Structure 1
Amino acid sequence: MQKPSLNKKVCLITSGHLSSDPRLCKEALTLSQKGFDVHIIFVQNLEYLAGADQAILSNNPTWTSDKLKYPKRNVNTLIFRKIPAAISKFLSILSFNQTIFRLSAVLIKNQNFYWQVSKAIKAKADLYIGHDLGALPVIVAASKKNGATSIFDAEDFHRYEVTDEEDSKEFKITRYIEDKYILKVNLLTAASPLIAAQYAKLYNTNVTSILNVFPQVTIKEKNETEKGLKLFWFSQSIGPGRGLENIILAINKLKDSVVSITILGDLAKPDQVYFNSFFSKNNIDTAQIHFEKPILSDKLIDFTSKFDIGLATEIGIPKNRDICLTNKIFTYIQAGIAVFASDTLAQQELMDSLQNVGVVYKKDDIDDISSKLTRYLLNRNILKEHQHNALKAGRETFNWEIESKKFLSVIEQALSLR
């Protein structure tokens, strides 16, 4: 691979927060380390993430950025938050009309589309990279205007990201945007082999799979003699339908054992009410259930290494959740803890390829979950073996140092097309 040309400018775009897209941040850091000028366009609409965004920018002073910051809840919020959201909702209601549907689909997915396009064009980049469906039309418009090239990074299989109902408005809008814009970008990447295969089949094009792994960190081998199990799960937000309920029910069956679960992420008030109701309805002993607030991504692997087992609890619905590989499963591997993964297509395929880094469980079978946790409780040697193998796989195979080579190869290929 040729060395990247200095002073080439790459613009990375997300329709959300910078800190909520660690994949974008890894790519931006790799690009700046290789001598590229990096510009990032993002939106701040959640107050609790604004500080994390600023910490990332402060740690990378060579990056330039444009951010649309929603004001705190006051009279200005009506302009920045309520009116665009109301327009988006109104367009969604009217989208039964085909003409309005075509005109409004992009705004329904990205109410800040015009602002982002304006900033992207002014950035005058050589290459634009979009990191979510809302950013896809933005990179197409900006690259066309500036005679640049573009890459769309499919972090999910978007048309089945929210629902499997093909007659739903959500599915139709997403499919329309994908069909209209995906073939207008120069190259496609995806966050899992199965997502890549789906897009390759749909559009008869090559798609490069780049896994959601993190840079290597120094993690010591575990050498503990505790009898219980410390389970861990994380996400940006905590809510229902993420597979946690069956894990908690299974843990509750193991009443004579010390099994704790730590759940890290933002817990909104409605979700807190939901879980409290769930605990009460099912007579859950909450003494060993701990909720933690989100932490910065560069602290995550070290924090994760303190636990015994990482939970990859995808429920396989909608279809995207069956074929995605989230950064959870790779975080557990790199942190050197055993992986406890539900039997989705993607996770089963990954775990079969690795062998002995953890256990695959039947996602809808509480007895299967509790029996496999019991196996770990009764045999610490198996747990230690899985932890050792996970740490080895993280050091040798599943890390950003390896995946970034594929990423840089795609970057060079895209720039050569200009």
Structure 2
Amino acid sequence: MQATFHIVLVTSGQPALNPRLVKEADALTTSGYKVTVIYQYWNAWGTEIDQQILPVKKWNAIRIGGTPETHKALYWITRVRHKAVKILIKLVGFKYWLAERSLSRCTFLLLKDALRQRADLYIAHNLAALPVAVIAAKKNKAKCGFDAEDFHRNEITNNPYHMDVRLKTFLEEKYIPKTDYLTASSPAIAALYQQLFPSKKAVTVLNAFPVVKEVSLPAVKAAEPLKLFWFSQTIGLNRGLQDVLSALKFLEDKQIELHLLGFIDKETRKQLDIIIQELQFANKPNIVFHQPINPDKIPLFAAQFDVGLALEPGFSLNNNVALSNKIFTYLQAGLTVVASDTTAQKQFINKNPALGFCYEKGNGQQLTAILKRLINEPGLLLQTKQEAFKAARNDLNWETESLKFLKVVEETIAI
């Protein structure tokens, strides 16, 4: 019966940049639904990874809005229009659909294609896609859902007068009440949206990953450097990297490698070098940079390391309550998790103390103490790595979380 249902997932990003969307599309397809993903070009390296991902998927992917390489005229027209909208919104406010247009280069092209897709359910995978899913569902007499991977109104700042906060608050309050379901990627995000929209039942679906069978149970290793790992789509300096650099300074006499995976621009690399210089290392720290790879391959890549770092500084309410996919990647890889004590991460470590350690965000000395202990107690390091590996195969995985998501979808379509 499910094969008769058509579900459309919408994002203003790309599949390679939204692993959660890909996991949901895969889960829906495996369950027998017809699935279409509508997306737009975001960047070149994401496109390269999309070219690896999409050909093997059983769902249909539609890219709209052109790229710098294909349909160039459309791409540049939409860029110019988007810049104009962002200027106009500062002058006249959120009327004339400027709010909806301001978050995405291709809002109305996404909507145009979504309307063409006669679906039973439309799922928005970021805030820019939310108006698209709601309007398409209304026009096509279907249902719609919103997956809140972040607490959007406070992604950048907590200042209620900031334009980004005002804009996203306006869109959330206009469209979330019109959705048929609401999921969130952490208990803390779900709680915040539940408080804002009490008529909605915000369901937590953790940002976990499928079990990676190629990763083996961590075993005792010969004496070698402690290998730290951190990754993101983009390497930036607002993600807590200063904490680990400070710890490396305190641990100069120890053999430690820091591996960073993600795209880094020249300016960020320059700023990172300045921070390292200011710390006045006697010997330059052993930092290895890795280019972005297919998200599906990150757990296996990460398995060569010892410690997975989740260093969020809590610079905004969202950054404080988000439970990033980093932690679940580290678990699949069998790494000891070392996390800053943001609300979401502290809750997770308190609930799963065998998997790793928490330190006070911004406190390099506390982080140093944890890393030093792992160096001095190899048995503890091995134990936490093995516990992480086991937890990822028992219940902290997408196989478990996808059942929650599919139940929400089934109940929504059945209404």
- Partner of 1:135: helix, strand, or coil? helix
Report the more deviating stretch, 125-134 or 279-288. Answer: 279-288
Equivalent position of 1:220 in the other structure: 216
Q: Aligned match of 2:24 in 22, 27, 32?
A: 27
| CA distance 1:283–1:92, shift in 2 (3 Å) | farther
User: Is residue 189–residue 210 contact of structure 1 (8 Å, CA) maintained in 2?
Assistant: yes
2: CA distance, partners of 1:126 / 1:308: 45
Q: Aligned match of 2:201 in 206, 214, 218?
A: 206
> Is residue 248 of structure 2 the alignment partner of residue 251 of structure 1?
yes
Q: Write the letter of the residue equivalent to 2:41.
A: Q
Pairing of 1:21-60 with structure 2 (within 5 A): 21-60=18-57
Equivalent position of 1:169 in the other structure: 163
Offset at residue 88 of structure 1 (A): 2.8
What CA deviation, in whole Å up to 9, does each residue of 1:337-368 have, x standing for no partner?
Answer: 10000011111111111112111011121111
Pairing of 1:16-415 with structure 2 (within 5 A): 16-72=13-69, 76=73, 79-80=76-77, 82-94=79-91, 97-98=92-93, 100-101=94-95, 103-204=97-198, 205-218=200-213, 219-223=215-219, 224-284=221-281, 285-415=283-413
Offset at residue 286 of structure 1 (A): 3.9
Offset at residue 7 of structure 1 (A): 2.5
Report the more deviating stretch, 275-284 or 162-171. Answer: 275-284
1: CA distance, partners of 2:160 / 2:100: 18
2: CA distance, partners of 1:364 / 1:120: 44
Q: Write the letter of the residue equivalent to 1:28.
A: A
TM-score, structure 2 as length reference = 0.95
2: CA distance, partners of 1:405 / 1:136: 23
Report the more deviating stretch, 54-63 or 402-411. Answer: 54-63
2: CA distance, partners of 1:139 / 1:220: 41
User: Is residue 224–residue 255 contact of structure 2 (8 Å, CA) maintained in 1?
Assistant: yes
User: Is residue 243–residue 311 contact of structure 2 (8 Å, CA) maintained in 1?
Assistant: no
Offset at residue 264 of structure 1 (A): 0.3
- Partner of 1:364: helix, strand, or coil? coil
- Partner of 1:368: helix, strand, or coil? helix
- Partner of 1:162: helix, strand, or coil? coil
1: CA distance, partners of 2:23 / 2:354: 28
Report the more deviating stretch, 17-26 or 224-233. Answer: 224-233
| CA distance 1:334–1:168, shift in 2 (3 Å) | same
2: CA distance, partners of 1:58 / 1:7: 23
| CA distance 1:415–1:306, shift in 2 (3 Å) | same
User: Is residue 39–residue 61 contact of structure 2 (8 Å, CA) maintained in 1?
Assistant: no
| CA distance 1:288–1:12, shift in 2 (3 Å) | same
Q: Write the letter of the residue equivalent to 1:363.
A: K
Offset at residue 225 of structure 1 (A): 2.5
1: CA distance, partners of 2:279 / 2:71: 40
Report the more deviating stretch, 278-287 or 230-239. Answer: 278-287
Q: Write the letter of the residue equivalent to 2:17.
A: S
Indicate the percent of aligned positions where both proteins have the same amino acid. Answer: 35
Offset at residue 258 of structure 1 (A): 0.5
Corresponding residue pairs, total: 411
User: Is residue 70–residue 80 contact of structure 1 (8 Å, CA) maintained in 2?
Assistant: no
Report the more deviating stretch, 195-204 or 359-368. Answer: 359-368
User: Is residue 6–residue 33 contact of structure 2 (8 Å, CA) maintained in 1?
Assistant: yes
2: CA distance, partners of 1:312 / 1:131: 23
Instruction: In structure 1, list runs of 5 or more residues that go unmatched.
Output: none
Offset at residue 90 of structure 1 (A): 1.2
TM-score, structure 1 as length reference = 0.95
Equivalent position of 1:6 in the other structure: 3
| CA distance 1:76–1:35, shift in 2 (3 Å) | same
| CA distance 1:118–1:82, shift in 2 (3 Å) | closer
User: Is residue 25–residue 59 contact of structure 2 (8 Å, CA) maintained in 1?
Assistant: no
User: Is residue 16–residue 46 contact of structure 2 (8 Å, CA) maintained in 1?
Assistant: yes
User: Is residue 82–residue 101 contact of structure 2 (8 Å, CA) maintained in 1?
Assistant: no
Report the more deviating stretch, 261-270 or 275-284. Answer: 275-284
What CA deviation, in whole Å up to 9, does each residue of 1:250-278 have, x standing for no partner?
Answer: 11221111111100001012212221222
2: CA distance, partners of 1:53 / 1:67: 14
- Partner of 1:38: helix, strand, or coil? strand
1: CA distance, partners of 2:102 / 2:238: 24
Q: Write the letter of the residue equivalent to 1:236.
A: Q
Offset at residue 6 of structure 1 (A): 1.3
Offset at residue 334 of structure 1 (A): 1.6
2: CA distance, partners of 1:362 / 1:148: 46
| CA distance 1:134–1:234, shift in 2 (3 Å) | same
| CA distance 1:287–1:72, shift in 2 (3 Å) | farther
User: Is residue 91–residue 108 contact of structure 1 (8 Å, CA) maintained in 2?
Assistant: no
1: CA distance, partners of 2:11 / 2:172: 16
Instruction: In structure 2, list runs of 5 or more residues that go unmatched.
Output: none
Q: Write the letter of the residue equivalent to 2:147.
A: D
2: CA distance, partners of 1:394 / 1:78: 41
2: CA distance, partners of 1:47 / 1:64: 17
